[in-house]
């Protein structure tokens, strides 16, 4: 019998046969279990705590199956999260750890140390400054343990701003940080960053851009390109009567006009705007004092009434729900649990949600907002959030190519559609300057060919400010691009509203940014969804099917606007980290022969879906795109992908084609495309296989598959 003064030591083991050792991908420590000394992985259970569970990383020898998880649950083991590779965060007692020694499936067990939970971005001003405090976002494993954490913070006089279901936002002094991290309910702690709307405030070197005097209602001079819609090629869709009717789209932005459905509302939205919500703290209005949200709304659903049909949104017959995130104090503060933001409009019938905002300093990290996006999408698989990629693009190393890794959260979320900005084709109006003469251009766009490029002169160019991928964990983002320079849309009637990139007249205003690209793509998705519901007669349209469809049909702008020079704007064909899968092209997406499959049950580990198609001619590329809504990753993990499906194509000569330009399986992305630009006549075999599904729906991962080309399905 142990004396009370003793400490019960439970030796945590690593199997001696580690020939198949694989890393555990934590943000704070990507470690190889084979290299961890045994003496450093011995957790201590003090007397009286041996029946109290602690959190451990348990790595398994093989992929985690549904039967394994069910077996753990049957033994009262609490599963908290999944960490790549093959690792579960489990809440275990001393006896449960001892019992695990009898399992031949386990590679190793390691304590989830509190330092693994703290972002590297949380650093004090000085090691001597213990009074330094930070506004932190604390992710929680299970909301039922939240009260203990909140009680601790309150008893230590820490300021709590928000306590949502899975998160606490609070100002915490640095000397309490490690104590907070030691709570077993805490999964991850990161700096809270204030989101921003992603309109690009274009300024010239003299900070003053001369504007043409507004022409009141002179719409006959417009070319049709000003709205950006023409570049997205909607002609055939419109001819078929696909204008977005009976589709409801939501947007979270700065509001619209004066926040009322009355005579102050822009006439182009009179029959389009269904409802408005004030979501910002201390705000009871969805009025638009900035002009940003009204512009965005017009690009989605403005019907062109005022301009006699010359300036319209993409889905100009769709219904629109507005959510203003402006606070009563200025600035924005979205709900810290995006579930509430999304669910409100989902219950109103919206299935596509436009978001022209992001976290400017996120640097592609998969953080708490991104987790929220993926969580809601996982629960509601017919809901697609669309997010602006960001305006942080710049050539800071001055090599003539926009640098990598400037993509913003939450557009990095796996299940969002991330939208970058391509150039519009407008030569009159807005800001007609070269990138090299704009403010701070010497730092960002100071060398040719970027410096000499006009900002809206080539539809095959990517806007210099558009944020590039990849994400911090290497995933391909953005997903698509759409016009985002010199876009003409609605002007807010609010007396404080800005003129953005310059007024066209009292009804319309120019603007730019990935904020402007995003609503154009949102409207495109409404048209695609209408096609599936009314032409294909689908009662359920998954967000995976919408993503696979719009990405499969996107136009590859390779090599970009500067041509086939040594340092191309786009280094290789799609997908790439500048244009994603390409510029949205609705007619190419819907009105070329294509095949689709919306597999709602999905595949288990090792399960396969096999298709055979016979290519009939050589003159059309063969394109297959597989997409799926993945389970949300852990913000503490350095890899976001959880469930992993693979697509391959075997051609008539027996060659196996892998996705996304790789020569092997893709282990990072939940969208995979195989483009065979010069197919041969013959039979191609397409396989989608479940490689790893640790967090499936009943052990399976649903997916969608879209294909185009001249082929016959066998």
Write b or e for each residue in 360-374: b if 16 or more Cβ atoms lie within 10 A of its Cβ, otherwise e: bebbbbbbbbbbbbb
What phi and psi, each to the nearest 5 degrees, are found at residue 421? -110, 125
Check pLDDT > 60 for residue 322: yes
* Average pLDDT of the residues in 145-174: 89
* Average pLDDT of the residues in 675-698: 96
> For residues 680 and 688, what is the distance between their CA atoms, to the nearest angstrom?
22
pLDDT score at 565:
83
Q: What is the CATH number of the domain that holds 336?
A: 3.40.50.200
- Among residues 428, 442, 416, which one has the least CA distance to residue 356? 416
Interaxial angle between packed helices 543-552 and 514-530, expressed in degrees from 0 to 180 and rounded to the nearest 10? 110
Residue-wise DSSP of 523-560: HHHHHHHHIIIIIS--S---HHHHHHHHHHTPBP-TT-
pLDDT score at 51:
61
| Inter-residue contact 425 to 225 (CB < 8 Å) | yes
Local confidence band at 125 (pLDDT 50, 70, 90 cut-offs): low
pLDDT score at 41:
39
Angle at 133 between CA 129 and CA 134, to 5 degrees: 135
> For residues 88 and 71, what is the distance between their CA atoms, to the nearest angstrom?
13
Domain C-terminal end among 552, 575, 606: 552
Higher pLDDT, 144 or 340: 340
pLDDT score at 415:
98
Local confidence band at 3 (pLDDT 50, 70, 90 cut-offs): very low
pLDDT score at 43:
47
Q: Which residues pair with 323 in a beta bridge?
A: 252, 277
pLDDT score at 97:
81
Check pLDDT > 50 for residue 483: yes
> Is residue 44 helix, strand or coil?
strand
Check pLDDT > 50 for residue 7: no
What's the pLDDT tens digit per position in 174-191? 889 999 999 999 999 999
438 and 381 together in one domain: yes
pLDDT score at 653:
96
Place of tokens 């008893």: 155
Residue 580 lies inside a defined structural domain of this protein:
no
Domain C-terminal end among 53, 80, 112: 112
535 and 683 together in one domain: no
165 and 300 together in one domain: no
188 and 201 together in one domain: no
| Inter-residue contact 342 to 271 (CB < 8 Å) | no
382 and 455 together in one domain: yes
502 and 612 together in one domain: no
Residue 565 lies inside a defined structural domain of this protein:
no
Q: Which residues pair with 594 in a beta bridge?
A: 708
Inter-CA distances, 592 with 456, 542, 708, 710, Å: 29, 21, 7, 9
How many CB atoms within 10 Å of residue 98? Answer: 12
Residue 2 lies inside a defined structural domain of this protein:
no
141 and 251 together in one domain: no
Local confidence band at 14 (pLDDT 50, 70, 90 cut-offs): very low
Q: What is the pTM of this model?
A: 0.94
Total count of residues recorded for the chain: 714
Joined together, the tokens standing for residue 52 give 């109290």
Higher pLDDT, 433 or 39: 433
Cis peptide preceding 449, ω within 30 of 0: yes
> For residues 374 and 137, what is the distance between their CA atoms, to the nearest angstrom?
17
| Inter-residue contact 511 to 414 (CB < 8 Å) | no
Domain C-terminal end among 51, 83, 112: 112
> Is residue 145 helix, strand or coil?
helix
Higher pLDDT, 360 or 670: 670
Check pLDDT > 60 for residue 18: no
From edge to edge, which strands make up the β-sheet containing 319-324? 273-278, 319-324, 248-253, 352-355, 384-388, 417-422, 480-483
What's the pLDDT tens digit per position in 534-581? 999 999 999 999 999 999 999 999 999 999 888 899 999 999 999 999
Check pLDDT > 70 for residue 358: yes
Check pLDDT > 90 for residue 280: no
- Among residues 331, 261, 328, which one has the least CA distance to residue 297? 261
162 and 220 together in one domain: no
pLDDT score at 17:
39
Most confident of 18-27, 104-113, 262-271: 262-271
pLDDT score at 145:
72
Percentage of the chain modeled with pLDDT above 90: 74
Residue-wise DSSP of 455-508: TTB-TTSBPTTS-----TT------EEEE-SSEEEE---STT---TT-BSSSSE
> Is residue 520 helix, strand or coil?
helix
613 and 520 together in one domain: no
Joined together, the tokens standing for residue 451 give 């410096």
Check pLDDT > 80 for residue 75: yes
pLDDT score at 37:
46
Residue 240 lies inside a defined structural domain of this protein:
yes
Local confidence band at 310 (pLDDT 50, 70, 90 cut-offs): very high
> For residues 238 and 177, what is the distance between their CA atoms, to the nearest angstrom?
57
Joined together, the tokens standing for residue 510 give 């120019």
Query: Whole domain around residue 164: which residue ranges?
Result: 133-192
Angle at 539 between CA 536 and CA 542, to 5 degrees: 90
Residue 563 lies inside a defined structural domain of this protein:
no
Higher pLDDT, 103 or 603: 603
- Among residues 169, 170, 141, which one has the least CA distance to residue 156? 170
Check pLDDT > 70 for residue 291: yes
What phi and psi, each to the nearest 5 degrees, are found at residue 590? -105, -20
Q: What is the CATH number of the domain that holds 137?
A: 3.30.70.1140
| Inter-residue contact 79 to 142 (CB < 8 Å) | no
Local confidence band at 212 (pLDDT 50, 70, 90 cut-offs): low
Joined together, the tokens standing for residue 570 give 């786009």
* Average pLDDT of the residues in 80-95: 92
What phi and psi, each to the nearest 5 degrees, are found at residue 132? -55, 135
485 and 363 together in one domain: yes
Inter-CA distances, 496 with 171, 258, 279, 289, 543, Å: 33, 10, 20, 5, 37
What phi and psi, each to the nearest 5 degrees, are found at residue 162? -140, 140
> Is residue 173 helix, strand or coil?
strand
> Is residue 189 helix, strand or coil?
strand
Check pLDDT > 60 for residue 407: yes
181 and 223 together in one domain: no
- Among residues 137, 112, 133, 132, which one has the least CA distance to residue 190? 137
Mean pLDDT of the chain: 90
pLDDT score at 427:
95
Local confidence band at 283 (pLDDT 50, 70, 90 cut-offs): confident
pLDDT score at 331:
75
Residue 360 lies inside a defined structural domain of this protein:
yes
Q: Which positions ≥6 away from 155 have C-beta within 8 Å?
A: none
Residue 318 lies inside a defined structural domain of this protein:
yes
Local confidence band at 10 (pLDDT 50, 70, 90 cut-offs): very low
Check pLDDT > 60 for residue 40: no
**How many domains are there within the chain?**
4
Q: What is the end-to-end Cα distance of the chain in Å, rounded?
A: 72
| Inter-residue contact 517 to 545 (CB < 8 Å) | no
- Among residues 668, 693, 621, 55, which one has the least CA distance to residue 366? 668
- Among residues 146, 130, 111, 140, which one has the least CA distance to residue 29? 111
pLDDT score at 281:
79
167 and 201 together in one domain: no
Local confidence band at 129 (pLDDT 50, 70, 90 cut-offs): low
Check pLDDT > 90 for residue 34: no
Residue 1 lies inside a defined structural domain of this protein:
no
Joined together, the tokens standing for residue 528 give 């695609």
């Amino acid at each position: 019998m142990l004396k009370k003064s003793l400490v019960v030591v439970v030796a945590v083991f690593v199997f001696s046969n580690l020939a198949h050792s694989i890393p555990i991908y934590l943000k704070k420590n990507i470690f190889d279990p084979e290299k961890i000394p045994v003496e450093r992985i011995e957790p201590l259970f003090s007397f009286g705590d041996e029946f109290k569970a602690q959190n451990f990383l348990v790595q398994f020898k093989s992929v985690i199956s549904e039967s394994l998880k069910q077996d753990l649950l049957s033994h009262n083991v609490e599963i908290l999260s999944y960490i790549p590779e093959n690792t579960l965060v489990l809440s275990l007692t001393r006896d449960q750890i001892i019992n695990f020694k009898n399992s031949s499936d386990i590679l190793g067990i390691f304590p989830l140390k509190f330092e693994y939970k703290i972002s590297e971005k949380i650093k004090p001003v000085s090691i001597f400054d213990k009074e330094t405090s930070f506004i932190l976002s604390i992710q929680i494993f299970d909301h039922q343990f939240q009260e203990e954490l909140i009680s601790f913070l309150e008893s230590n006089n820490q300021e709590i701003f928000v306590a949502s279901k899975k998160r606490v936002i609070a100002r915490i002094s640095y000397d309490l940080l490690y104590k907070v991290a030691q709570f077993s309910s805490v999964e991850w702690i990161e700096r809270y960053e204030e989101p921003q709307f992603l309109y690009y405030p274009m300024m010239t070197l003299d900070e003053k851009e001369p504007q043409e005097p507004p022409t009141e209602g002179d719409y006959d001079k417009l070319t049709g390109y000003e709205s950006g819609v023409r570049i997205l090629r909607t002609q055939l869709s419109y001819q078929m009567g696909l204008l977005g009717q009976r589709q409801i789209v939501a947007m979270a932005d700065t509001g619209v006009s004066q926040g009322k459905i009355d005579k102050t509302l822009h006439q182009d939205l009179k029959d389009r705007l269904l409802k408005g919500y004030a979501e910002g703290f201390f705000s009871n209005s969805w009025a638009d004092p900035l002009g940003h949200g009204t512009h965005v709304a017009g690009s989605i659903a403005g019907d062109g009434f005022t301009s006699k049909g010359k300036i319209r949104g993409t889905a100009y017959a769709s219904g629109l729900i507005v959510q203003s995130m402006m606070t009563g104090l200025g600035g924005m503060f979205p709900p810290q649990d995006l579930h509430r933001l999304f669910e409100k409009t989902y219950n109103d019938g919206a299935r596509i949600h436009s978001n022209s905002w992001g976290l400017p300093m996120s640097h592609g990290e998969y953080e708490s907002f991104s987790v929220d996006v993926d969580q809601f999408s996982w629960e509601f698989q017919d809901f697609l959030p669309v997010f602006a990629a960001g305006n942080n693009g710049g050539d800071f190393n001055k090599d003539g190519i926009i640098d990598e890794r400037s993509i913003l959260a939450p557009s990095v979320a796996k299940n969002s559609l991330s939208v970058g900005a391509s150039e519009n084709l407008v030569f009159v109006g807005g800001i007609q300057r070269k990138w090299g003469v704009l403010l701070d251009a010497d730092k960002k766009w100071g060398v040719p060919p970027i410096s000499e490029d006009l900002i809206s002169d080539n539809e095959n160019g990517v806007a210099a400010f558009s944020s590039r991928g990849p994400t911090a964990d290497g995933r391909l983002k953005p997903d698509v691009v759409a016009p985002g320079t010199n876009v003409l849309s609605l002007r807010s009637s609010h007396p404080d509203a800005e003129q953005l990139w310059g007024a066209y007249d009292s009804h319309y205003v120019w603007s730019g940014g990935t904020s402007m690209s995003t609503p154009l793509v949102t409207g495109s998705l409404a048209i695609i969804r209408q096609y599936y519901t009314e032409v294909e007669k689908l009662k359920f349209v998954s967000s995976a099917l919408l993503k696979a469809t719009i990405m499969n049909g996107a136009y590859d702008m390779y090599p970009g606007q500067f041509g086939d020079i040594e340092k191309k704007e786009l280094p290789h064909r799609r997908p790439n980290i500048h244009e994603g899968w390409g510029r949205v092209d609705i007619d190419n997406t819907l009105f070329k022969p294509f095949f689709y499959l919306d597999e709602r049950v999905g595949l288990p580990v090792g399960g396969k879906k096999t298709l055979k198609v016979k290519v009939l001619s050589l003159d059309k590329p063969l394109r297959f795109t597989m997409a799926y809504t993945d389970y949300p990753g852990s913000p503490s993990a350095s890899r976001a992908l959880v469930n992993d499906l693979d697509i391959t194509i075997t051609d008539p000569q027996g060659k196996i084609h892998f996705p996304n330009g790789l020569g092997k399986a893709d282990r990072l992305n939940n969208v995979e495309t195989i483009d065979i630009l010069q197919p041969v006549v013959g039979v191609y075999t397409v396989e989608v296989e479940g490689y790893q599904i640790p967090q499936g729906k009943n052990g399976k991962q649903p997916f969608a598959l879209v294909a185009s080309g001249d082929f016959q399905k066998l």
